[in-house]
Chain A
Amino acid sequence: MVVDLWFVFRVLVFPGFTFIFFFTMFCDWMERKIEARMQNRVGPAFTGPAGILQPFADIIKLLSKEDIIPSGAKRNVFRLAPILAFSFVVFAFSFLPIDGSAVIPNSSFAGDLIFVMALITIANFFLFLSGWASSNPYGDIGATRVLTQFLGYDIPLTLLALAPAFIAGSLTISVIAANQYLPFAILAPWAFVLFIVTLQAELEKDPFDIPHAESEVIGGLETEFGGGKLAFLRLTRDVQIVFGAALVVELFLGGPYGPVFFGLPELWYFLWFVLKILAVVLITEYVTCLFARLRIDQVLSGNWKVLLPLSVLSLALTVAVATWIYPLVM
């Protein structure tokens, strides 16, 4: 029974759902602050100390608003897709080792890297469905853009994730994270940089935020959503951003592992994990602020003509270097 309670605590409170939710809210606040500072603004300032409660206010307000289902929409899909997208991303999150072991204890298995990336793909597909079911021209355009963009970045993303997997000699996330005495970002910097670029597309951030380009397609796939369903769509995107950062940390920055000075190693692992995620979120937000939006055709041809060959090259380079050069040095 004690074991069961511990399991429930881990899944629901820490490092499970509650922690992920609050950490996502914190990252959202940090992103808005960074973006505002980069644009010479202040950003949220009066909602709690330095505006830190702003994301909570947004979510609570959206949840307390009227729930509208447009008459032309596919009712069930329209209602379920945002919640399913959100739960799939959170489910994918629970396979990452946050404080040295995964959220669900002993859930890691051989090849869970592929499984987790498949879960994220499914979450993206539910985002597409939610836009498609809203029967609004802008929603349709946003939804088709999600899929079109997805065709471009999914293969490079998987290929790039294989580079750390090859160096570690395993497709298990916890093994890849534990094998990094030297972070793979140093051993394979080419894959690291390309992975960050491709991740921007996966997270639908600038320069790849075409599916919800405000000046072109209103809110993209979110156009018809209001109230609680919009809250879930926004949450999905925010959790996806944190998840992407967590994936980078696990694959390239040594996961939660770092120096332990005193006391429980779990606490230190957790601290390192959070700090590393914040660093990656900082990088992605920096890129977002620096670059303007591309057109959908530019993204697609760029992904197929530049990113895909580059990711194949990077995998080849990783294999060559890890097989012949690193054994000589280390």
Chain B
Amino acid sequence: MSKLATWARLKSPWVLHFNSGACNGCDIEVIALLTPRYDVERFGIKLEGSPRHADVLLTTGSVTKQCAERLKRIYEQMPEPKFVVAIGACACSGGVFKGNYNVLDGVDKVIPVNVYIPGCPPKPEAIIDGVVKLLNSVKEAKPNGK
């Protein structure tokens, strides 16, 4: 039974996209995943509007102090098992905004992160590669949170 659930989890990761103060560069690359050229629906990946529907949170941006609370709340609204992907240099470590007075230098200061995808912005191929690595880790590891 758990084998079936894992198979289903691997084959249908629905993603939610959250911008925590990015310059929109990474967001354009995330949206490019859904276009005919990359078409991640091949792998069953669907962009959902509501955190209640999502399995994977794609976060971009260096998490401004104002956004941190919202980011945490959206993460808490997602049902278990849930995974977080930090997309872009800003989401990984703060990027060019590192040390700025109004940012928290990366998503992992607020919520646990499963996969980091560096780049400014990362190419869609890199994002797909990151999500594949995440899915491979799901095969063995337990989801975070619990």
Q: A47-B44, A68-B52, A219-B48 are in contact. Are A226 and B9 (CB under 8 A)?
A: no
Q: Per a CB cutoff under 8 Å, which of A42, A57, A214, A224 touches B52?
A: A224
**Chain A positions within 8 Å of B8 at CB level:** 56-61, 64
> In the complex, which of the residues B8, B78, B79 has the most CB atoms of chain A within 10 Å of its own CB atom?
B8
Q: A66-B80, A223-B50, A230-B52 are in contact. Are A44 and B41 (CB under 8 A)?
A: yes
The answer on a CB contact under 8 Å between A54 and B44 is: yes
Q: In B12-30, which residues have CB < 8 Å from any A CB?
A: 12
- The minimal Cβ–Cβ distance linking B89 to chain A, given in whole angstroms, is 29
Complex Cα distance, B7 from A285, in Å, reads: 29
A8 within 8 A of B: no
The answer on a CB contact under 8 Å between A41 and B53 is: no
Q: How many A-B residue pairs have CB under 8 A?
A: 91
**Chain B positions within 8 Å of A218 at CB level:** 49-50
**Chain B positions within 8 Å of A41 at CB level:** 36, 39, 41
Complex Cα distance, B50 from A51, in Å, reads: 25
B99 within 8 A of A: no
Q: In B118-134, which residues have CB < 8 Å from any A CB?
A: none
Q: A44-B41, A227-B79 are in contact. Are A61 and B49 (CB under 8 A)?
A: no
Complex Cα distance, B42 from A230, in Å, reads: 22
**Chain B positions within 8 Å of A61 at CB level:** 5, 8-9, 11-12, 55
How many residues of A sit at the interface, in one of the four size bands?
35 or more
Complex Cα distance, B53 from A225, in Å, reads: 7
A222 within 8 A of B: yes
Complex Cα distance, B5 from A32, in Å, reads: 22
The answer on a CB contact under 8 Å between B9 and A67 is: no
The answer on a CB contact under 8 Å between A42 and B9 is: no
- The minimal Cβ–Cβ distance linking A224 to chain B, given in whole angstroms, is 6
Complex Cα distance, B12 from A227, in Å, reads: 13
**Chain A positions within 8 Å of B48 at CB level:** 219
The answer on a CB contact under 8 Å between A65 and B80 is: yes
Q: In A26-45, which residues have CB < 8 Å from any B CB?
A: 32, 36, 39-45
A261 within 8 A of B: no
B141 within 8 A of A: no
A262 within 8 A of B: no
**Chain B positions within 8 Å of A40 at CB level:** 36
Q: A226-B53, A230-B52 are in contact. Are A43 and B11 (CB under 8 A)?
A: no
Q: List 25 A–B pairs whose Cβ atoms lie within 8 Å, in order of A's numbering.
A: A32-B41, A39-B36, A43-B41, A44-B41, A44-B42, A47-B12, A53-B11, A56-B8, A58-B8, A58-B12, A59-B8, A60-B5, A65-B80, A65-B81, A66-B81, A68-B52, A214-B49, A218-B50, A222-B50, A223-B49, A223-B50, A223-B52, A225-B52, A226-B79, A230-B53
- Name 5 extra pairs, CB < 8 A, besides A46-B11, A61-B5, A226-B78: A32-B41, A46-B43, A64-B8, A66-B80, A223-B52
